[in-house]
């Protein structure tokens, strides 16, 4: 992990630790002390301070990390200094050199022997209420504070503001009102943290479209989703859930989203198993400290090679709408949640992308929702919602949401729920092709097989060999079933999880079994390869004789079902 990535990792760990410690602060002085302990580590700067207003005088009372401030409190008169300006305007300021600012209050620098150069000042806002300001001075190993510094400092400030609000409410309201206000503050911050790290709920690229439904529960903030275009032109899609509640869960989910974003360029179809291990192992190193487990379901869509790879870490498997218009669960490995075990790689399943038209990833908030009798929504109700949407040709996510809400309307409070729908609008070749076979028509039959080989997930060399072997079989049908005369032939194609299959039907009299297919090239024929070549290309070659016709079934395994873990 590079230096910037390590910096991000450290920042989010500090934020998670701060979220826990701040929530337990008993009074304002204890809170300010904890802030000063954490803020300088989070920002990696020379000094940090917090300025809170004195209700009687209007002064900003400053507490800082500088040794000279230990045991004493400094004041900035109302409206003075950059801190006073930010407190008044409620707009953050990132200044490269505070000495050049006409409002800079230089007295504090003289008192603390810490002249301010680069300065980041933020208001401590909770909704419309401004509790004060925080300042970070003179970043270490960089000339000024950057955009990431602002992002982290604002998140830290939101934690502090929410905690200050809670303390005020505790002084003014009953215990029940206190808990409700804090819960709402937590929810607001959790959503803000999550939404800032998740992409837009709608995405389109060529023939692929992504749509997202997400609803966070009132006191849970762990659900997240991510999608990224990776380095080799693939599309990585993930849905997950960080365990726990409130701010720590939201920050942990934000941390996972950040790690995915930072490393997505190295997530290729060939390295997916190793990339998942890298992600897992980073999280495992801090899982105990974070106190959270993260579940994740992953799809990697390789549009160029028409493949899709999948696995799950304690999350539900993906579902897909097959080409026969029924929803099915994709069989793929399910590992323990992220961070439980380390491994050099994790098994994934790879299947042809063309087996499905739509793919959906869900968190457990759907399946585990309960009605008034305590019955779970479950896989059965989920399947009914999918089927209804398909039969009515309605919006799948809308139909799922309606069914889920209606089922759980009188039940217990629902958990977070996230669904990501991927639609592949790439056209499939026609399922069959028929003609009067002849040398002039064999190229058309070959083109039909070529189209299916291209969308099956086969590699370029294997696809070429499949087309060549099919051409050989069509030539044999023409020569030996119809004695080199035109005759009817039908070729049907089928693609499933494992194999591409061609069923060739003819009504000739000369080719009714494999004994009538040449075992070796005929001396007089240019380009003949014989049955041994066909058998080398296809995993299964079956000849059938029926009352009115004869058939040849050619099956080729297109991809391994799963890549096993080492």
**What is the per-residue DSSP string for 274-310?**
HHHHHHHHHHHTTHHHHT--EEEEEEEEETTTTEEEE
Question: What is the crossing angle of helices 272-284 and 246-263, to 10°?
Answer: 140
**How would you classify the pairing of strands 417-424 and 60-64?**
unpaired
| Structural domain containing residue 504 | 432-563
| 199 shares a domain with 86 | no
Nearest CA-CA partner of 555 in 472, 495, 506: 495
Given a cut of 50, whether residue 163 has pLDDT beyond it is yes
pTM: 0.64
Q: Looking at residue 563, what is its pLDDT? A: 40
Q: Are the C-beta atoms of 82 and 102 separated by less than 8 Å?
A: no
The whole-number average pLDDT for the span 1-23 is 70
| 220 shares a domain with 258 | yes
| 339 shares a domain with 299 | yes
**Position 392 in a domain:** yes
**How would you classify the pairing of strands 307-313 and 319-322?**
unpaired
| 490 shares a domain with 391 | no
Alpha-helix residue ranges (DSSP H) falling in 419-459: 442-454
Q: Looking at residue 186, what is its pLDDT? A: 63
The DSSP result for 394-430, as a single string, is --HHHHHHHHHHHHTTTSSPP--EEEEEEEE-PPPPP
**Position 181 in a domain:** no
Q: Looking at residue 565, what is its pLDDT? A: 36
- In angstroms, rounded to a whole number, what is the distance separating the alpha carbons of residues 247 and 374? 29
* Structure confidence by residue, pLDDT tens digits, 224-234: 999 999 877 79
Last residue of a domain, one of 172, 204, 230: 172
- In angstroms, rounded to a whole number, what is the distance separating the alpha carbons of residues 193 and 378? 30
- In angstroms, rounded to a whole number, what is the distance separating the alpha carbons of residues 480 and 124? 86
**Position 177 in a domain:** no
- In angstroms, rounded to a whole number, what is the distance separating the alpha carbons of residues 244 and 416? 11
**Position 183 in a domain:** no
**Position 179 in a domain:** no
Q: Is 534 helix (H, G, I), strand (E, B) or coil?
A: helix
Counting the structural domains of the chain, the total is 3
Report the DSSP beta bridge partners of residue 312.
297, 334
Nearest CA-CA partner of 104 in 125, 124, 83: 83
* Structure confidence by residue, pLDDT tens digits, 463-477: 999 999 999 999 999
* Structure confidence by residue, pLDDT tens digits, 412-470: 888 888 999 999 998 889 999 999 999 999 999 999 999 999 999 888 899 999 999 99
| 401 shares a domain with 330 | yes
Q: Looking at residue 337, what is its pLDDT? A: 93
**Position 118 in a domain:** yes
| 471 shares a domain with 415 | no
The whole-number average pLDDT for the span 292-298 is 90
| 411 shares a domain with 438 | no
Last residue of a domain, one of 405, 424, 443: 424
**How would you classify the pairing of strands 348-352 and 307-313?**
antiparallel
**Domain with 529 in it: what CATH number?**
3.30.565.10
**Domain with 39 in it: what CATH number?**
3.30.450.40
Nearest CA-CA partner of 221 in 202, 197, 243, 199: 243
**Position 349 in a domain:** yes
Q: Looking at residue 115, what is its pLDDT? A: 77
Last residue of a domain, one of 406, 424, 442: 424
| 161 shares a domain with 64 | yes
Q: H-helix or E-strand containing 225?
A: strand 223-229
User: Band of the pLDDT at 21, cuts 50, 70, 90?
Assistant: low
| 353 shares a domain with 211 | yes
| 159 shares a domain with 77 | yes
* Structure confidence by residue, pLDDT tens digits, 35-44: 777 777 778 8
| 405 shares a domain with 306 | yes
Q: Looking at residue 246, what is its pLDDT? A: 67
């Amino acid at each position: 992990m590079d230096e910037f990535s390590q910096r991000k990792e450290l920042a989010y760990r500090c934020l998670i630790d701060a979220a826990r410690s701040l929530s337990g602060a008993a009074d304002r002085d204890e809170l300010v002390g904890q802030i000063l302990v954490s803020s300088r580590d989070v920002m990696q700067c020379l000094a940090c301070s917090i300025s809170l207003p004195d209700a009687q005088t209007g002064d900003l009372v400053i507490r800082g990390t500088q040794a000279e401030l230990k045991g004493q409190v400094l004041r900035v008169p109302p409206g003075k200094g950059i801190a006073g300006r930010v407190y008044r305007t409620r707009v953050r300021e990132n200044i490269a050199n505070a000495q050049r600012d006409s409002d800079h209050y230089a007295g504090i620098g003289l008192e603390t022997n810490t002249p301010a150069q680069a300065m980041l000042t933020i208001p401590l806002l909770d909704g419309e209420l401004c509790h004060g300001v925080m300042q970070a001075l003179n970043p270490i190993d960089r000339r000024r504070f950057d955009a990431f510094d602002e992002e982290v400092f604002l998140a830290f400030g939101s934690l502090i503001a929410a905690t200050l609000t809670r303390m005020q409410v505790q002084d003014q309201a009953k215990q029940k009102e206190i808990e409700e206000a804090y819960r709402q503050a937590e929810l607001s911050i959790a959503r803000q943290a999550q939404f800032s790290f998740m992409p837009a709920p709608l995405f389109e690229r060529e023939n692929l479209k992504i749509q997202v439904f997400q609803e966070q529960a009132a006191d849970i903030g762990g659900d997240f989703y991510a999608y990224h275009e990776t380095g080799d032109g693939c599309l990585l899609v993930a849905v997950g859930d960080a365990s726990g509640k409130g701010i720590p869960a939201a920050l942990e989910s934000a941390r996972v989203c950040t790690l995915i974003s930072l490393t997505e360029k190295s997530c290729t179809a060939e390295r997916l198993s190793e990339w998942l291990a890298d992600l897992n192992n980073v999280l495992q190193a801090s899982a105990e400290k974070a106190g959270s487990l993260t579940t994740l379901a992953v799809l990697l869509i390789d549009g160029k090679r028409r493949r899709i790879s999948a696995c799950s870490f304690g999350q539900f498997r993906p579902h897909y709408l097959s080409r026969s218009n029924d929803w099915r669960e994709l069989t793929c490995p399910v590992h323990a949640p992220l961070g439980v075990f380390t491994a050099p790689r994790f098994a994934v399943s790879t299947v042809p992308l063309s087996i499905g038209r739509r793919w959906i990833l869900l968190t457990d908030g759907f399946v585990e929702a309960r009605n008034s009798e305590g019955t779970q929504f479950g896989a059965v109700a989920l399947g009914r919602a999918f089927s209804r949407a398909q039969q009515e040709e309605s919006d799948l996510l809308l139909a799922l949401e309606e069914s889920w809400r209606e089922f759980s309307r009188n039940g217990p409070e629902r958990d977070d729920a996230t669904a990501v729908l991927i639609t592949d609008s790439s056209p499939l070749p026609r399922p069959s092709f028929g003609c009067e076979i002849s040398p002039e028509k064999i190229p058309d039959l070959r083109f039909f097989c070529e189209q299916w080989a291209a969308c099956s997930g086969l590699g370029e060399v294997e696809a070429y060999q499949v087309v060549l072997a099919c051409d050989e079989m069509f030539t044999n049908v023409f020569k030996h079933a119809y004695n080199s005369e035109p005759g009817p032939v039908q070729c049907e194609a089928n693609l499933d999880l494992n194999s591409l299959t061609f069923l060739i039907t003819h009504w000739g009299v000369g080719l009714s079994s494999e004994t009538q297919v040449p075992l070796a090239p005929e001396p007089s024929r240019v380009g003949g390869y014989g049955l041994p070549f066909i058998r080398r290309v296809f995993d299964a070659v079956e000849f059938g004789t029926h009352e009115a016709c004869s058939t040849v079934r050619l099956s080729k395994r297109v991809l391994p079902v799963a890549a096993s873990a080492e």
